[in-house]
Structure 1
Amino acid sequence: MSRVTSPAAATGGLSVLQGTALTLAAVLGTGVISLPALAIGAAGPASLVAWVALLVVSVPLAATFAALGARHPDGGGVATYARLAFGERAATMVGWSFFLAIPIGAPVAAGFAASYVADALGGGRTTEVAVTAGIIGIVAVMNWMGIQVSAAVQLGITGVIATLLLVAVVVSLPDIEGERFTPFLTHGWSGVGSAAALLVWAFAGWEIVSSLSGEYRHPARDIGRATAITLVVVAVLYLGIAVATIGVLGAATGEAPLADLLAGALGGWARPATAVVAVLMTVGAINSYFAGASRLGASLSVAGAMPAWLGADIAAGARTPRRALAFVAGLGLVVTVGGALLGHDTDATLLATTGTFALVYVVGTAAAVRLLPGGWPRVAALVSLLASAVLVVLTGPAVLIPVLTGLVGLCWPRRRRAQPASDAVDRAIGGDTVVAEPLR
């Protein structure tokens, strides 16, 4: 037996604006902080082709996950869709892969902001590690206080970030030089592919909508609206920053391109200000992922696919999955400190994390092909599935890491899920539900 949620049910308290803020933070996230420079290093000016291509791919991808979230609002997210479409084994594999990717990827995201702080204040590696750990701790506290508090803070952070990024683009326009776009294809088409593999990080986030879908007041109506707003904002800001970075900085861009853009246009005082923006962006992005991952972990635990203690508070009727949250934050800190002791950069696990996102997209979109009705939802799912498969290929061998993680989850001794004593469990992990036979 599998849980299928009622799409019309008002299951949580998130408004369209709050949902947009969480989605925008997850997608926009930390990618715009450092990835423009990394993409230029991989493909030169032609990295702009990778940005545009991934934006185009984002349209059907966002539409697919929005349609899934509206139709099946549930805290399990992609794992739930995999269960409904392909059975428990597929759900367990993708659930384990995505859940464990978040604490491993969080230090990467926080490390992007930490490099800005170190650039502004000095201190080198020590400053970066301290800031990374601090960001993870702040986000854990925000989520510990509940989704409503977290979403309210997120709304303010996202508004400030979007405004300042738009300012960065506008003030940089007079300094753009056409010759910086030539020669255009400096590293060949293979360089564009390499840039696209890196930029998957910048476009990951649509899948988190599914894990938060049960928190919306009216999922069937509000998820689509939040997704559409996010798409427009992300397209404008990403393309603007990418063009400005190439046209103003070119190959000379450093690790903190956003700071370089603002400092060049407004003066040196903008560099520490940009560090603050970078920290806010990172807090916002990790906040969205911690919110989604903790609910996913609790959902998997209640379903018997993860250790019972991970979701014990949710099984007892709690609204906030604090045990799963503590595990995610704790493992993120362990990865941060362990990487520092071993002398590894915080972005050492970047490709492994993006490989997980790409693999999750493949599973999620394949499930959508089976679960969504005919017409444009099915077409969007098919296009998204093909695009996701290409992203997996571009990621290369790093995609084997989430595959191995999924296999570990498959070997975990599965518990038989007990029937919940009340509706509190179902409300906590995804809203009011009805029980139905799995779709196979």
Structure 2
Amino acid sequence: MSQELRRSLGVFDAVVIGLGSMVGAGIFAALGPAARSAGSGLLLGLGVAAAVAYCNAMSSARLAARYPASGGTYVYGRERLGPFWGYLAGWAFIVGKTASCAAMALTVGDYVWPGQAHAVAVAAVVALTAVNYGGVQKSAGLTRVIVAVVLAVLAAVVTVSLGSGSASGAVDFDRLDVGADASAGGVLQAAGLLFFAFAGYARIATLGEEVRDPARTIPRAVPLALGIALAVYAAVAVAVLSVLGAGDLGRAAAPLVEAVRAADAGWMTPVVRTGAAVAALGSLLALILGVSRTTLAMARDGHLPRPLAAVHPRFQVPHRAELAVGAVVAVAAATADLRGAIGFSSFGVLAYYAIANVSAWTLGSRPVRTTAAFGLVGCLVLAFALPPASVAAGAAVVAAGAALYALRSRRATDR
């Protein structure tokens, strides 16, 4: 029985999978909390998050081209820094992205049926786990449709917000100016929260074993997906800020819905709500896909139960890992808090990328080291600029992972 995954994804599919996991998370989940932190400095926070994400993306792309296997930074850390750092990266990724999965599932529930958000979230996890079980090509096909729908809805929001008059009769672009309400700490905290939205390009790297010609495909797909996502984020943020202002944006439970209402286009509310649910489904689909591949890689090396490394003989997917991840995410979606999940996830993912940048540093060339150094510093600064509760919880979980590794290593030595 073959334990290798099928290489079926080209540049277009890889870009679409990355976009599917970025666009939904950023616009519909992180924009409001980031505005509360940064105030009128929201666009600065978006720029900082994008700069750190770019450095991480380039480090990840270079490493993925060198090591085209499932697992992402788990593999890179193991190969470049040693088993412990690979393990710690994988641990941070799985824990952080499991929280992301729960957040996206709850976003679906909040928009589809607010009174039964947890039940809808669990149903969404079960349905998308079944889609992933059928093969990565089917997942990529569904993601294509989701991305097209979401981009159409966001384009409509931007057009309505910038083209229609606000309550005052015209869009107030003075609201885009940075005022006294913005602070360096608030901008950095917003950047840390918005980084949650950019982290989707990791899905391309974690699918390295299923990409055709990875040395060429991955370095092209990662920056392309990131650049498209940044353009979309910037356009939507400018449009919503120009209509609502930073204060109302930060207070809005559904910022894009409030933006179209303020632009005298309340008829678009059902469209925006539907777009939000579809976007969150796209992110959830890609997130479950990525977490299951890292689980597969760690199970192959014995850091997780080895049965999770099984590959389905017909569909050629890590079916046991996908079922296990789906079960854990379903439990989290039934019990988790949406707002707290974002900060916790950001800390774990930033820790993951810190290890990716250190791994890229060891590749040696000056341009690679420069990018990796900026990425590492950016990850550390943004991680510890997050809300204190997120920092405390994230640090505790990362430390627990390190302790488990040490305990397992000691037991292995004593045998």
TM bracket, shorter-chain basis: 0.7 to 0.9
**Equivalent residue in structure 1 for 2:68, among 65, 73, 80:** 73
Which residue number corresponds to residue 39 of structure 1?
A: 34
**Equivalent residue in structure 2 for 1:364, among 356, 361, 365:** 356
> Deviations for 1:363-393, whole angstroms, at most 9, x for unmatched residues?
11101111x3414233222221221121222
**Equivalent residue in structure 1 for 2:286, among 285, 288, 293:** 288
TM-score by length of 2: 0.88
CA contact (8 A) 1:46 1:185 kept: no
Which residue number corresponds to residue 111 of structure 1?
A: 106
Which residue number corresponds to residue 383 of structure 2?
A: 392
**In structure 1, C-alpha distance between the alignment counterparts of 2:396 and 2:8, rounded to whole Å:** 36
Structure 2 counterpart of 1:358, which letter?
A: L
Which residue number corresponds to residue 134 of structure 1?
A: 123
**In structure 1, C-alpha distance between the alignment counterparts of 2:126 and 2:405, rounded to whole Å:** 31
Pair 1:336 & 2:333 matched? yes
Which residue number corresponds to residue 236 of structure 2?
A: 241
CA contact (8 A) 1:30 1:113 kept: no
Which residue number corresponds to residue 278 of structure 1?
A: 276
**In structure 2, C-alpha distance between the alignment counterparts of 1:152 and 1:182, rounded to whole Å:** 41
Distance 1:46 1:247, change over 3 A: same
**In structure 1, C-alpha distance between the alignment counterparts of 2:404 and 2:133, rounded to whole Å:** 26
**Equivalent residue in structure 1 for 2:248, among 249, 252, 266:** 252
Structure 1 position 206, deviation (Å): 3.0
Structure 1 position 212, deviation (Å): 0.8
Which residue number corresponds to residue 262 of structure 1?
A: 260
CA contact (8 A) 2:109 2:118 kept: yes
What is the aligned-residue RMSD (CA, Å)?
2.5
Secondary structure of 1:75's partner?
A: coil
Structure 2 counterpart of 1:79, which letter?
A: Y
Distance 1:179 1:379, change over 3 A: closer
Distance 1:402 1:28, change over 3 A: farther
> Deviations for 1:105-126, whole angstroms, at most 9, x for unmatched residues?
31112223433334xxxxx4x3
Distance 1:57 1:92, change over 3 A: closer
Which moves more between the two structures, 98-107 or 403-412? 403-412
TM-score by length of 1: 0.83
CA contact (8 A) 2:48 2:188 kept: no
Q: How does 1:419-430 map to 2 (within 5 A)?
A: none
Structure 1 position 408, deviation (Å): 4.8
CA contact (8 A) 1:108 1:350 kept: yes
**Equivalent residue in structure 2 for 1:229, among 218, 224, 248:** 224
Structure 1 position 401, deviation (Å): 3.3
Which residue number corresponds to residue 168 of structure 2?
A: none
CA contact (8 A) 1:302 1:308 kept: yes
CA contact (8 A) 1:110 1:135 kept: yes
Pair 1:192 & 2:184 matched? no
CA contact (8 A) 2:95 2:348 kept: no
Structure 2 counterpart of 1:156, which letter?
A: V
Pair 1:346 & 2:338 matched? yes
Structure 2 counterpart of 1:298, which letter?
A: L
Secondary structure of 1:314's partner?
A: coil
**In structure 1, C-alpha distance between the alignment counterparts of 2:201 and 2:397, rounded to whole Å:** 18
Secondary structure of 2:311's partner?
A: helix
What are structure 1's unaligned runs of at least 5 residues? 1-9, 119-123, 340-344, 417-440
> Deviations for 1:59-85, whole angstroms, at most 9, x for unmatched residues?
222111111111111112111111111
CA contact (8 A) 1:64 1:380 kept: yes
**In structure 2, C-alpha distance between the alignment counterparts of 1:184 and 1:374, rounded to whole Å:** 41
CA contact (8 A) 1:103 1:332 kept: yes
Secondary structure of 1:205's partner?
A: helix
Structure 1 position 320, deviation (Å): 0.8
Structure 1 counterpart of 2:33, which letter?
A: L
**In structure 1, C-alpha distance between the alignment counterparts of 2:112 and 2:75, rounded to whole Å:** 39
Structure 2 counterpart of 1:48, which letter?
A: L
Which moves more between the two structures, 347-356 or 407-416? 407-416
Structure 1 position 409, deviation (Å): 4.1
Over the matched positions of the two proteins, sequence identity in percent amounts to 26
CA contact (8 A) 1:63 1:380 kept: yes
**In structure 2, C-alpha distance between the alignment counterparts of 1:405 and 1:368, rounded to whole Å:** 25
Which moves more between the two structures, 109-118 or 60-69? 109-118
